[in-house]
Amino acid sequence: MSDYIFITDDRQYETLTRVSAETIEEAKIKFAKKIWELDEFALKEVESKTVNVSFWEEYFLGLISREDGSPLYEMDEIKKLFKANLEKDFSPEVADELIDYFF
């Protein structure tokens, strides 16, 4: 059994992947499966984050509207305004839980 190192270049960074196999062909197949698994995981992460973002942006986006994404207010003020936005659709107790989860 030998170790093979594969390098993938994704414009912003390089990833090294070590695969153990009897032959280079087996190593290529294992490497391809690993890449597919990582891509599949990344896709699921992006999808879940997108759903998450689309929920939160309605309540939070107006509080960080500078071009660089920096907040317009201090953190305490952001939390108060964020809670006020959430309380338009949820009870104060649920709003508190959502804020705790968000932060």
Per-residue pLDDT in tens (0 to 9) along the chain, 103 residues: 888 887 777 666 677 888 898 998 888 888 888 877 777 776 676 666 666 777 788 888 777 666 666 667 777 888 888 889 899 988 888 888 888 888 7
| Close Cβ partners of 14 (under 8 Å, ≥ 6 residues apart) | 7, 8
Domain contains 58 = no
Q: Which domain holds residue 21?
A: 1-49
Q: Are residues 22 and 47 in contact, defined by beta-carbon separation less than 8 angstroms? A: no
Rounded distance, CA 83 to CA 53, Å?
A: 17
Q: What is the pTM of this model?
A: 0.47
Domain assignment present for 70: yes
Question: DSSP label at 41?
Answer: H
Let me know whether 34 and 73 are in one domain: no
Judge whether 31 and 17 are in contact, CB under 8 Å.
yes
Residues 42 and 4 in one domain: yes
Query: How far, in Å, CA of 9 to CA of 15, rounded?
Result: 7
Instruction: Check whether residue 69 and residue 45 sit in a common domain.
Output: no
3-class DSSP state of 23 = coil
| pLDDT confidence of residue 46 | 61
